[in-house]
């Protein structure tokens, strides 16, 4: 920040100084030229042609320096075929004025024709009444005073802009130090979190960093929730595996005759539990990785092709928005749909109806309705059925983890799932509300 500030201050002061120098020196030079112009106009106004054809002044010029030799102010009149008519201040010198051009307007330029005395020269060509001669009227003045004025102006500009530059750099440095000072409080607060084990930044901090502190506390809360979820699910998994392992251990210790069947059954239970927790872990990881997108209709068709091979006698109907896109990973979407459609086919009476975008298509939520013509679920049991291992029909194979997986994954992505009664088919209606992907 200091280097950038120093660079910009230097560039701006340099450009501003050059512009101001050009403006002020131009004003001083124009003022000097105006004085020469007044003198030249006075010369022309006072000149006329004498009886002998030469130029003469009908009244004396007002500036006394024209009468003093080498005074630094000179005039000269030159005409073709006539001798030069110089001011007394030129003494034994003459102004070297070219005669091969005609200046209808005053022409001003710098000249170094006098050694050690730079000149500012203004000339104009005039044809006086009573004469056909082209007369060149010239006024010259030493540039010493002009150069001294310009030197003084530039000296003042340099000192002023250097002082201004140091002042601005000092102010920028103080502003940077003061502006970043609140971050030192944040650093000390974070250090205190690390050394004391506190969960939040609670000490009062400057107003400038309050949004940063709020985001930091939100991040800490999010991390704490994730850690708590990880501990909870690790404990749930350990608890879920404990019972099958105990059954296997008891059967093996007792040398039960149906040990192989017990191993197969309990291993399936453990595998389902592991799949449940892995699915949830994958969903959490994908959600944290960034924006996810999945086309609903292709995933739905892929799931139906797989389920139709298992339940060939079941009729499946699809309807709704073919272009619906949700903010889920494709694998998670297919796992959700697979669990719900397979349950509908397993516990239904032979008909399954799936509707995409059953609600408002313009809403932020994409509603997917999955209906069957089975016995349905009593309203009192619709909340409990989402618990791990909960089953209403124990006569069919399963572990009761399908709906638990659906609920967990949907909640991870910010959606909802609820159960109701199907008005068309009379069985269970599963309303799956998934966040719509941003276009």
Q: How far apart are CA 228 and CA 234, in angstroms?
A: 10
- From residue 370, alpha-carbon distances to 350, 410, 429 in Å are 13, 15, 6
Chain segment 95-134, per-residue pLDDT in tens: 888 767 788 889 999 998 888 899 999 999 888 888 888 8
Q: Which of 348, 354, 345 is nearest to 312 (CA)?
A: 345
User: How open is the CA angle 155-161-164, to the nearest 5 degrees?
Assistant: 140
- DSSP character string of 123-176: EEEE--TT----EEEEEEEESHHHHHHHHHHHHHHHHHHHHHHHHHHHHHHHHH
Q: Directed axis angle between helix 330-347 and helix 259-289, to 10°? A: 140
Chain segment 221-241, per-residue pLDDT in tens: 878 877 777 777 677 677 777
Place of tokens 């139906």: 304
- From residue 205, alpha-carbon distances to 157, 193, 197, 198, 211 in Å are 44, 14, 19, 16, 10
φ, ψ of residue 200 to 5 degrees: the values are -140, 160
pLDDT in tens, the chain (439 residues): 888 888 999 999 999 999 999 999 999 999 999 999 999 998 888 888 888 888 888 888 878 888 899 899 999 998 888 888 899 999 888 888 876 778 888 999 999 888 889 999 999 988 888 888 888 999 999 999 899 999 999 999 999 999 999 999 999 888 888 888 778 878 888 888 777 777 787 777 777 778 888 888 888 887 887 777 777 767 767 777 787 888 888 888 888 888 888 888 888 878 877 776 676 666 665 555 446 788 999 999 999 999 998 888 899 999 998 989 998 888 888 888 988 999 899 888 889 999 998 766 667 889 999 999 988 888 878 777 766 444 444 444 444 445 777 888 888 888 888 888 888 888 899 999 998 887 6
Residue 341 CB-half CA count within 13 A: 29
| Beta-strand relationship, 315-320 and 351-356 | parallel
For residue 231, the SS3 value is: helix
User: What is this structure's pTM?
Assistant: 0.47
Q: How far apart are CA 64 and CA 89, in angstroms?
A: 10
Q: How far apart are CA 270 and CA 250, in angstroms?
A: 16
């Amino acid at each position: 920040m200091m280097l950038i500030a120093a660079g910009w201050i230097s560039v701006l002061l340099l450009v501003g100084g050059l512009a101001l120098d050009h403006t002020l020196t131009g004003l001083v030079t124009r003022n000097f030229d105006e004085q020469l112009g007044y003198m030249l106009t006075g010369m022309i106004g006072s000149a006329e042609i004498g009886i002998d054809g030469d130029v003469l002044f009908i009244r004396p010029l007002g500036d006394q320096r024209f009468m003093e030799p080498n005074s630094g102010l000179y005039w000269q009149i030159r005409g073709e075929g006539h001798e030069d008519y110089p001011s007394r201040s030129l003494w034994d010198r003459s102004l070297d004025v070219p005669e091969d051009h005609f200046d209808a307007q005053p022409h001003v330029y710098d000249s170094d024709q006098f050694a050690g005395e730079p000149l500012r020269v203004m000339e104009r060509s005039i044809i006086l009444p009573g004469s056909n001669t082209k007369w060149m009227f010239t006024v010259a003045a030493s540039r010493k005073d002009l150069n001294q004025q310009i030197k003084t102006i530039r000296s003042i500009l340099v000192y002023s802009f250097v002082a201004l530059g140091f002042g601005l750099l000092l102010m920028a440095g103080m502003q940077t130090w003061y502006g970043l000072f609140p971050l030192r409080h944040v650093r000390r607060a974070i250090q205190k979190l690390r050394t004391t084990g506190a969960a939040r930044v609670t000490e009062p901090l400057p107003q400038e960093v309050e949004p940063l502190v709020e985001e930091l506390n939100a991040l800490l809360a999010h991390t704490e929730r994730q850690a708590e979820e990880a501990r909870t699910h690790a404990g749930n998994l350990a608890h879920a595996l404990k019972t099958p392992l105990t059954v296997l251990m008891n059967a093996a210790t007792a040398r039960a005759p149906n040990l192989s069947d017990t191993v197969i059954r309990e291993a399936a239970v453990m595998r389902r539990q592991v799949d449940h927790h892995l699915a949830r872990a994958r969903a959490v990881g994908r959600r944290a990785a960034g924006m996810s997108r999945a086309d609903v209709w292709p995933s739905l068709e892929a799931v139906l092709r797989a389920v139709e091979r298992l339940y060939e006698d079941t009729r499946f109907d699809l309807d709704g928005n073919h272009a619906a896109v949700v903010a889920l990973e494709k694998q998670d979407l297919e796992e959700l749909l697979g669990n719900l459609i397979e349950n509908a086919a397993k516990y239904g009476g032979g008909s399954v109806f799936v509707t995409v975008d059953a609600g408002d298509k313009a809403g932020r939520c994409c509603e997917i309705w999955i209906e069957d013509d089975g016995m349905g679920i009593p309203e009192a049991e619709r909340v409990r059925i989402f618990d791990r291992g909960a089953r209403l029909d124990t006569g069919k194979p399963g572990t009761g983890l399908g709906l638990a997986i659906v609920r967990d994954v949907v909640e991870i992505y910010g959606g909802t799932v609820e159960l109701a009664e199907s008005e068309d088919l009379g069985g269970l209606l599963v309303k799956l509300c998934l966040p719509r992907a941003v276009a």
